[in-house]
């Protein structure tokens, strides 16, 4: 039997009691300390606070009032309020037990004690203290995370006019419970928008839960989102709450919702309509209360028109739409973003003297950034790591493509067929200004085929 990793401090003026208790408790706890003089309690608390103090109620000969015990109980509470206290007396009665509880004792036992009951009481009190400490730590971490999240717009750095509408919409819609659909290319910051909506919402003190639907297999969709009961399938070894339950009261962010196949769209729609989930293997529904935010880089409205994405689900998730512009439409933000990432990575890689030259900024602004802000971030990190001088120059940024005459990023070296197909599709979409019917016609493929390839290549 494994011992509990905790310290028990026994304080009693009867040496026989201390010896017997110590021999017994050493079988169950890693550290058992005994003390016959109550005035020495403070020394033990300051040296190494125990998890549980077992404190006698009476120390003066013939005294049965419990006054000494209550006095030292108060001192323990003053010095180490987190320590659990169990009062110990041979003259226990209800009124004395009630008084000890009022003063902060966790439990009360009488002498002579039964071994099993004595051990069980201390185990329970120890576990209670451990759980309270874990809860305090968890609350502290959550408070810190909320504080970090509470910075205005997090890392949404912009002075571009193209982003003013985004910020205005966030301010207007954040404090409502309206479902929001965030649209934009990969790397434009859709998750940052979702987190900012949560931060400014009335649910900001509750959980923000993200689910990447693009990385979730069809077979795991229900168990991950709705939860599972023990025994529902072979690997279901315990009851587990799904993301909807965990997020209840807070915000649920479904990223890459455009990748959700029709069969799963039906299941999601049912949950949103009924505001309840049923765990796999369960029969009883569980009510849920989430603020739903969704994001995709797919042309989801056109997918709805073509029947690829259910119109009724689309109406549910896009009470308000926020369109994030690509970085090539926010050239004024490149100096701000580049310097922000430079500061971050110069600190991380211990190169605080690094700066970025003006001609380098111009060089970065003359690139179309198909990977958007994420690509810029990685480019700056790589430049900081490889930099040999104190100033980042254009040559420190190894951009693997150049801008062609049609303002598209054109690979100069690749012969990979998939890479060529991806680039051709991207160019066709941009040339036709996002009109997928025209792009598909020009590419010589059907719209459904175009959708599949866009999903495949993350376009």
With a pLDDT cut of 90, the percent of the chain lying above it is 48
Residue 402 has pLDDT above 50, yes or no: no
Please provide the DSSP assignment of 134-172 as one string.
HHHHHHHHHHHHHHHHTSTTTT-----GGGHHHHHHHHH
Please give the CATH number for the structural domain made up of 327-399. 1.10.8.60
Lookup result for tokens 């009022």: 102
Omega within 30 of 0 (cis) for the link into 112: yes
Q: For 163-183, what is the mean pLDDT?
A: 95
On whether the 161-323 domain is CATH 3.40.50.300, my answer is yes
Cβ count within 10 A of residue 282? 15
Q: Tell which wins on pLDDT, 311 or 241.
A: 311
Mean pLDDT of all residues belonging to the chain: 85
Residue 49 has pLDDT above 90, yes or no: no
Instruction: Give, as one character, the DSSP assignment of residue 28.
Output: T
Per-domain residue ranges of the chain: 4-135, 161-323, 327-399, 409-457
The pTM score is 0.61
Lowest mean per-residue pLDDT among 135-149, 324-338, 385-399? 135-149
In 3D, which of 403, 440, 437 has the Cα closest to residue 424? 440
Rounded to whole angstroms, the Cα distance separating 144 from 204 reads: 13
Please provide the DSSP assignment of 75-128 as one string.
HHHHH-TTSEEEEEESS--HHHHHHHHHTT-SEEEESSPPHHHHHHHHHHHHHH
Residue 90 has pLDDT above 80, yes or no: no
251-281, pLDDT tens digit by residue?
999 999 998 888 899 999 999 999 999 888 8
The fold adopted by the segment(s) 4-135 is Rossmann fold (3.40.50)
Rounded to whole angstroms, the Cα distance separating 263 from 399 reads: 41
Residue 407 has a pLDDT of 42
Burial of residue 145 (CB within 10 Å: 0-12, 13-18, 19+) is: exposed
Rounded to whole angstroms, the Cα distance separating 217 from 202 reads: 32
Q: For 46-58, what is the mean pLDDT?
A: 86
Residue 145 has a pLDDT of 54
Q: Tell which wins on pLDDT, 26 or 448.
A: 26
Indicate the angle between helix axes 372-386 and 334-348, nearest 10 degrees. 40
Residue 449 has a pLDDT of 78
Residue 22 has pLDDT above 90, yes or no: yes
Residue 152 has pLDDT above 60, yes or no: no
Residue 404 has pLDDT above 60, yes or no: no
In 3D, which of 447, 364, 369 has the Cα closest to residue 407? 369
In 3D, which of 16, 56, 12, 50 has the Cα closest to residue 34? 12
Residue 312 has a pLDDT of 94
Q: For 23-28, what is the mean pLDDT?
A: 93
Instruction: Give, as one character, the DSSP assignment of residue 391.
Output: E
Rounded to whole angstroms, the Cα distance separating 250 from 205 reads: 8
Q: For 192-201, what is the mean pLDDT?
A: 94
Residue 143 has a pLDDT of 58
Residue 381 has a pLDDT of 95
Residue 249 has pLDDT above 60, yes or no: yes
101-123, pLDDT tens digit by residue?
888 899 888 888 889 999 999 99
Residue 353 has pLDDT above 70, yes or no: yes
Lowest mean per-residue pLDDT among 83-92, 119-128, 330-339? 83-92
Q: For 356-369, what is the mean pLDDT?
A: 94
Let me know: does 373 contact 191? Beta carbons within 8 Å: no
3-state class of 355 per DSSP? strand
Cβ count within 10 A of residue 255? 22
With a pLDDT cut of 70, the percent of the chain lying above it is 90
Burial of residue 109 (CB within 10 Å: 0-12, 13-18, 19+) is: middle
Exposure string for 78-104, b = 16+ CB within 10 A, e = fewer:
eebeebbbbbbbeebeeebbebbeebb
Hey, CA dihedral for 442, 446, 451, 452, is it positive or negative?
A: negative
389-400, pLDDT tens digit by residue?
999 999 999 886
Tell me the two tokens of residue 159. Answer: 């002075």
Let me know: does 278 contact 285? Beta carbons within 8 Å: yes
What band does 413 get if pLDDT is binned at 50, 70 and 90? very low
Q: Tell which wins on pLDDT, 38 or 361.
A: 361
Q: For 219-247, what is the mean pLDDT?
A: 82
Rounded to whole angstroms, the Cα distance separating 298 from 280 reads: 30
H/E run at residue 337: helix 334-348
Please give the CATH number for the structural domain made up of 409-457. 1.10.10.60
Lowest mean per-residue pLDDT among 72-81, 86-95, 114-123? 86-95
Residue 61 has pLDDT above 80, yes or no: no
Residue 217 has a pLDDT of 82
Residue 33 has pLDDT above 50, yes or no: yes
| Ramachandran quadrant class, 298 (left: phi over 0; alpha: psi -120 to 50; beta: rest) | beta
Q: Tell which wins on pLDDT, 218 or 447.
A: 218
Residue 27 has a pLDDT of 93
Domains 4-135 and 409-457 share a fold: no
């Amino acid at each position: 039997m494994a011992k509990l990793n905790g310290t028990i401090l026994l304080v009693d003026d009867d040496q026989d009691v201390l010896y017997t208790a110590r021999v017994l408790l050493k079988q169950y706890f890693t550290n058992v300390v005994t003390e016959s003089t109550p005035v020495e309690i403070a020394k033990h608390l300051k040296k190494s606070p125990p998890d549980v103090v077992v404190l006698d109620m009476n120390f003066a000969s013939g005294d049965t009032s419990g006054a000494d015990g209550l006095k030292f109980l108060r001192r323990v509470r003053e010095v180490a309020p987190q320590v659990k206290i169990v009062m110990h007396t041979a003259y226990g009665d209800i009124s004395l037990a009630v008084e000890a509880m009022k003063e902060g004792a966790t439990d009360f036992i009488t002498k002579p004690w039964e071994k099993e009951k004595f051990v069980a009481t201390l185990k329970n009190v120890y576990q209670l203290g451990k759980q309270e400490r874990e809860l305090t730590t968890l609350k502290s971490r959550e408070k810190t995370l909320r504080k970090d999240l509470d910075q205005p717009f997090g890392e949404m750095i912009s002075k571009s006019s193209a982003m003013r509408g985004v910020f205005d919409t966030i301010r207007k819609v954040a404090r409502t419970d309206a479902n929001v659909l965030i649209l934009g290319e990969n790397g434009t910051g859709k998750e940052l928008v979702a987190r900012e909506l949560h931060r400014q919402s009335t649910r900001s003190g509750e959980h923000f839960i993200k689910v990447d639907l693009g990385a979730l297999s069809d077979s795991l969709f229900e168990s991950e989102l709705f939860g599972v009961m023990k025994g529902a399938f072979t690997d279901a070894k315990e009851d587990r709450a799904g993301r909807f339950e965990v997020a209840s009261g807070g915000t649920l962010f479904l990223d890459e919702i455009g990748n959700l196949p029709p069969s799963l769209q039906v299941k999601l729609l049912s949950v949103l309509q009924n505001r309840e989930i049923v765990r796999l293997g369960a029969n009883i529904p569980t009510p849920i209360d989430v603020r739903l935010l969704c994001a995709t880089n797919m042309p989801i409205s056109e997918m709805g028109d073509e029947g690829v994405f259910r119109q009724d689900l689309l109406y549910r998730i896009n009470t308000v739409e926020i369109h994030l512009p690509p970085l090539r439409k926010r050239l004024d933000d490149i100096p701000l973003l580049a310097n922000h990432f430079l500061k971050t990575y110069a600190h991380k890689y211990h190169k605080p003297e690094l700066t970025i030259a003006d001609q380098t900024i111009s060089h970065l602004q003359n690139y179309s950034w198909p990977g958007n802000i994420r690509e810029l971030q990685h480019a700056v990190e790589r430049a900081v790591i490889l930099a040999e001088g104190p100033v980042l120059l254009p040559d420190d940024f190894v951009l693997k493509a150049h801008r062609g005459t049609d303002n598209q990023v054109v690979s100069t070296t690749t012969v990979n067929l998939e890479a060529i197909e991806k680039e051709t599709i991207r160019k066709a979409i941009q040339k036709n200004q996002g009109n997928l019917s025209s792009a598909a016609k020009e590419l010589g493929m059907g719209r459904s085929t175009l959708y599949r390839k866009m999903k495949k290549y993350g376009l």
